[in-house]
Amino acid sequence: MLGVFVVTDEALNTLLIVFMKSNTYNNMKTISLLFIISLLINGAVIESVSVNIGFSITFHTNTVIQSDDVIEWRHGYELVAKRVRGSIFLFSGSEGRFTDRVKLNYETGDLTIIEVRSESIGDYNLQITGEKNTRQTFSVSTRGGYTDHVTSLTVMEGDSVRLKAGVPDFENYDVIRWRFENSSLAEINRKTEIISTHDERFRDRLELDRWSADITITNITTDLSGLYEVKVDSNRGTHTIHRSYTVTVSDEVKSVSVMEGDSLTLHIDIPIQRDDHTDWGFGPDELKPDSIQSLYRYSERFRDRLQKDNEIGSLTITNVTTEDSGVYQVRIIMGNFPQSIKKRFIVTVTARDRSSGVSLGGSCVGVLLVLVSSQVL
């Protein structure tokens, strides 16, 4: 005989309380499984979501929220956000993993996870209790093994910067929108096959990749410093992936002098992490910085005179000669993420008078520090 069992909300809540008071509560996997089973029994919708580490994600309830509805969001079995009796409560989670990283929209019930990390992956369970009960689960995974927490970028005027849209799967995302300082910048709509750019300030220097939806800004100027935002909407309207970048365009110039025979240390002034590494290059013509080649090509010229500090990334050249004048460039590879930051130093070495021991011509050494970002974010 076929039997149909109907499990009410009260019965499920009672069952959860019994388990939580028992020794089974110590088994987190059991509690998570029990919660998911309760969702399935009550017709919860389960949707798979993929997001890049470092990007934010907003889950949409897609339902009309009543003033007296109770809204609960859980990560696995842990409560992370709740709306009840006109108030919003946010929870830090175990070991504070959600501290300052959760937002709950009071009007819509949408949940935002700020800068997704590895500990943020898993199932997010929504339960709305009220006139119309709703349950839904978003199963979140990440793409790629890299970590990217860079949201503030500094570039030199006249250089290029690339900002990553972070679209994880093109089949599930239709609309990608870029904004600059609250004005529309660029958009890709896959349904209508429309690709458009809007801001005249970016004429002839904004490149929009139709496949990745990344943008590249060439010949950037100081007036393009500011906040850049990207939003990627799923084609079902269930969630949005988004991120903000603060871009600073600098025209700063610094100078320093060094004499022939002295030592010169080039400091990158950027914190180096354990997984980062630096790659130094040199070009003998300071007027042609694009001719920079790896220092390995000049091993004979710099034989036994180079010292590289792997902890802070600096490069020291001992007993410098006039032939060492030119452009030095360092490329900083940040972790496993395909991103690099470049710095250039234009160096001129002043020759000494061999007979008197003083410098000839009173020339000074100029070091031009150029912050060049060549990010692929």
Torsion 306-292-294-372 (CA) sign: positive
- Tell me, yes or no, if the two domains 44-142 and 152-250 fold the same way: yes
The CATH superfamily assigned to 152-250 is Immunoglobulins (2.60.40.10)
Q: How far apart are CA 159 and CA 118, in angstroms?
A: 33
Measured CA angle at 193 (ends 191, 198), to 5 deg: 110
Report the chain's C-alpha Rg in angstroms: 28
The token pair that represents 114 in the structure block: 């700020």
The residue written with tokens 């997001």 in the block is 51
Q: How far apart are CA 209 and CA 207, in angstroms?
A: 6
Architecture of domain 264-374: Sandwich (2.60)
Domain limits, the chain = 44-142, 152-250, 264-374
Sheet holding 306-308, edge to edge: 264-266, 315-317, 306-308
The token pair that represents 269 in the structure block: 């002034």
The token pair that represents 352 in the structure block: 């000494």
Measured CA angle at 69 (ends 5, 61), to 5 deg: 80
**Is-contact 125 74, C-beta < 8 A?**
yes
Whole-number Cα distances in Å, 126 to 46, 98, 225: 10, 17, 39
Torsion 319-289-344-338 (CA) sign: negative
pLDDT in tens, 331-367: 777 655 445 567 778 888 999 876 655 555 444 444 4
pLDDT of residue 122: 94
**Is-contact 270 332, C-beta < 8 A?**
yes
Average pLDDT per consecutive 10 residues, the chain (377 residues; last block may be shorter): 37 49 48 47 71 91 93 95 94 92 96 92 94 91 61 78 84 88 87 76 87 88 92 91 88 72 88 78 78 84 89 91 88 60 82 66 41 41
pLDDT of residue 210: 82
Domain 44-142 in CATH 2.60.40.10: yes
